[in-house]
Amino acid sequence: MLDNAGLIAGAFLALRNPEGRGNNLGRVDDLAVRMGRIIRNLSAFARAEPQPADPTDLAQVIGAALEITETRRREAGVQIRLDLPAYPVIAMGGEMRPGQVVANLIAKAVDAVAGRDDARLTVTLRSDPPRITVRDTGSGLANPAEIFDPVYTTKEMGVELGLGLPIDYGIVSGFGRTIRGRNTGEGAEFTVELLPTPQGIAA
């Protein structure tokens, strides 16, 4: 949310430039709409309300998550590599909740590699089954078997409550699918697996 607010503030400042005014107005409007959708989605999740699991292009989910975390990644000096297929990968689940999960995983990966000489992230999209993987070059997970426990945290004591990954787990489990985390030898890797669309249904 703060990343989006920063992007909007920057766009408003850029409105002073007449040459870019039209483009920036469009960007502010798009981000404002997206922020409203995120707020509604988070409120619905807090109330445990069911959300429509519509067919969604997962490349768009990744794009939205990258936009939300753009300021955080830029300030941390983190390089990102995208490994996306040339064809669309469609899954059930809608855009907002999978996007929330992927944005959280990217944000955690940024925190894990910030300040390192090899601060890199790789986001991979694959089909059969539809899945998104976020891999970092950080120090890895101290206790991979406990990462979805409510009190587990990837940060120092007192920095956070350790609720992000359990919430991600709850969201993905609500779709009837899985989220996994492991160490790769070069850092940590999280994979979100989503439900394929019934044959003949497109986003």
Query: Residues near 4 by Cβ (< 8 Å), separated by ≥ 6?
Result: 31, 34, 35, 38, 67, 68
- Per-residue pLDDT tens listing for the chain (203 residues): 444 454 455 544 545 555 555 555 666 666 677 666 666 655 554 554 555 678 999 999 999 889 888 888 999 999 999 999 999 999 988 778 888 899 999 999 999 999 998 899 999 999 989 999 999 999 998 888 888 776 555 554 333 434 478 888 888 887 778 999 999 999 999 999 999 988 645 55
pLDDT at 83: 97
131-141 CB burial, b ≥16 within 10 A, e <16: bbbbbbbbebb
Q: What is the rounded distance in angstroms from the CA atom of residue 173 to the CA atom of residue 181?
A: 14
Per-residue pLDDT, 17: 56
- Write down the pLDDT at residue 194: 92
pLDDT value of position 148: 79
DSSP code per residue over 166-179:
HHHHHHHHHTT-EE
What local confidence, expressed as pLDDT, does residue 109 receive? 93
According to the model, what pLDDT value does residue 90 have? 94
Measured from the Cβ of residue 17, the count of other Cβ atoms closer than 10 Å reads: 10
> Strand pairing partners for 183?
188
Phi-psi region of 181 (alpha: psi -120 to 50; beta: other; left: phi over 0): beta
> Percentage helix, strand, coil, to 5, in the chain?
45, 20, 35
Please give the sequence-ordered ranges of beta strands (E in DSSP) within the chain, or none if there are none: 55-57, 79-83, 90-92, 120-126, 131-136, 178-183, 188-193, 195-196
Q: Beta strand 120-126 with 79-83: parallel, antiparallel or unpaired?
A: parallel
- Confidence (pLDDT) at 155: 54
Q: What is the pLDDT of residue 87?
A: 94
Place of tokens 């590599």: 81
Q: Which residues of 91-111 are buried (b: 16+ CB within 10 A; e: fewer)?
A: bbbbbbbbbbbbbbbbbbbbb
CB 166 within 8 A of CB 70: no
Output the pLDDT for position 120: 94
- Residue 157 has a pLDDT of 39
